Amino acid sequence: MKLKVIKYKNYGRTMTGGEDADDWKHMFYWSFYELSNGHIINLHYTENWEKDKFIDDDYDYSYTKDELKNGEIISYEFGDAKANDVDAMSKEFFDWFESLPPYSDIKNPTRPSLEEEKCVKEFYEKNIMDKKIKRQIQ
């Protein structure tokens, strides 16, 4: 069965960093994808800029459901915030982000499969990145 995205939520650029350090800027984008196999994948996409020139980017993927060493299960849940409500989207994202445990507390951490990463990346580039680029050109 070929994987496909059945639900997603894009929080867009949620953070930036490095504005005062040698003209470097880092743009951090977050989005979540429920796949046809039932897994929810978190994509943390980073753009690196120097003196307003794009240098490179990085895709980092993780599952959103983990068991902690104390037996607790944590997972991302798609919230009710809508894309046109910036305040609600920000609150929803940061409530999730600030609740993340230290990586060392996760029992047997695993990464998404290459097939899952490929599915998410293709969807992101086609449905989110392309639209972002088109908005910047207009």
End-to-end CA distance of the chain: 38
Q: How far apart are CA 76 and CA 99, in angstroms?
A: 10
Residue type, 31: S
Note the pLDDT of residue 132. Answer: 58
Beta strand 24-35 with 5-17: parallel, antiparallel or unpaired? antiparallel
Q: Tell me the three state secondary structure of residue 92.
A: helix
Q: How confident is the model at residue 51, as a pLDDT?
A: 81
pLDDT tens track for 13-69: 998 887 665 667 889 999 999 999 999 999 999 999 888 788 999 999 999 999 999
Residue type, 4: K
Tell me the whole-structure pTM to 2 decimals: 0.87
CA atoms of 137 and 48, how far apart (whole Å):
19
Residues 55/27, Cβ–Cβ less than 8 Å: no
Q: Give residue-wise pLDDT tens across range 92-131.
A: 999 999 999 999 999 999 999 999 999 999 999 999 986 6
Map out the domains of the chain as residue ranges: 5-137
